[in-house]
Structure formats: structure tokens, C-alpha cells
Amino acid sequence: MMFDSRRNEIIAVFDWELSTLGHPLADLAYNCMPYYMNTSGPTLSEMIDSGVPSETEYLDLYCKNTGRSGIENWNFYLAFSFFRFASIVQGVYKRGINGNASSDYAKSLGPLVAGVGDLARNLTDA
């Protein structure tokens, strides 16, 4: 939870799995993961003609609006995000196997963990 520094009240509630106190580029990379993932349809990269900005355009806008001249080691941040996501999905899958997930769908996520891990590993090689 985040508390207001002047008043005794809660101003935000965070999901602990997705909360970070790290580099802002980690959140940007997490936001860009759909450019690479294909779960049931086209990736964002395949939807460019439909008005979705390309990843390059998106990153250029981010840099422009944050005063950055560019982003070094972009694949590091992407790989970090995919490994992080794989860890989260693995936890959901394990809860499904143990019978304490919120949905039976969790038991079907095992193959996604390996696929996301492969994406991360491929990004570290690029």
C-alpha cells in the first residue's frame, strides 16, 4: 500500500507480484511484451497497419517524453520482463496443480511458462 505523506490515508494499493521498486525501464519493457507474444491472435508487431504504433515508435515517444536520448541494452529489460512473467505464470500454474488456484484454467498454463522462458532466453542472445 502507498500512504499519503501528509494525511493518514491510503492512496494506492499495489499487487505485490507486479510491484517493483526498480528501474523505470523494467516497467516500460513489461508494457512492451505484447509486441513479442502471441497467445491467441496477432502480436502487436503484426498489428502495425491497424494504427498500433510500432515498438520503435512507442520507445521513441517514451524517450521524447522522458528526455532520454535512447535506451541502451533494451533486450536486457525485455528479457528481465519475460523471465519475471514466466515466474508469475509458473506460480499460477503450480497453484492450479495444487488445487488452490482461482480457476481450473491455471492448470493449462504449464506450456506458456516454457514458451515465455524461451522468449527471454532468445532476447539475451540477440
pTM of whole model > 0.85? no
Distances from the Cα of 54 to the Cα of 17, 32, 43, 46, 101, angstroms: 28, 10, 11, 9, 36
Task: Read off the C-alpha cell for 105.
Answer: 484454467
Determine the pLDDT at residue 69.
96
Identify the burial level of 77 via C-beta atoms within 10 angstroms of its C-beta, where 0-12 means exposed, 13-18 middle and 19 or more buried.
buried
Tell me: pLDDT of 60 over 90.
Answer: yes
pLDDT of residue 21: 64
Give the start-to-end residue ranges of the domains of the chain.
20-40+73-125
Assigned C-alpha cell, 108: 493449462
Helix (H) or strand (E) holding 24: helix 24-32
Does 35 score more than 90 pLDDT?
Answer: no
How confident is the prediction for the chain on average, in pLDDT? 85
pLDDT band at 39 (very low <50, low <70, confident <90, very high): low
| 18 half-sphere exposure, CB direction, 13 A CA radius | 9
> Could you tell me the pLDDT band of residue 91, with boundaries at 50, 70 and 90?
very high
pLDDT of 99 strictly over 90: yes
Q: DSSP H helical segments within 33-109, as ranges?
A: 55-66, 74-98
Please compute Rg for the chain using Cα positions.
17
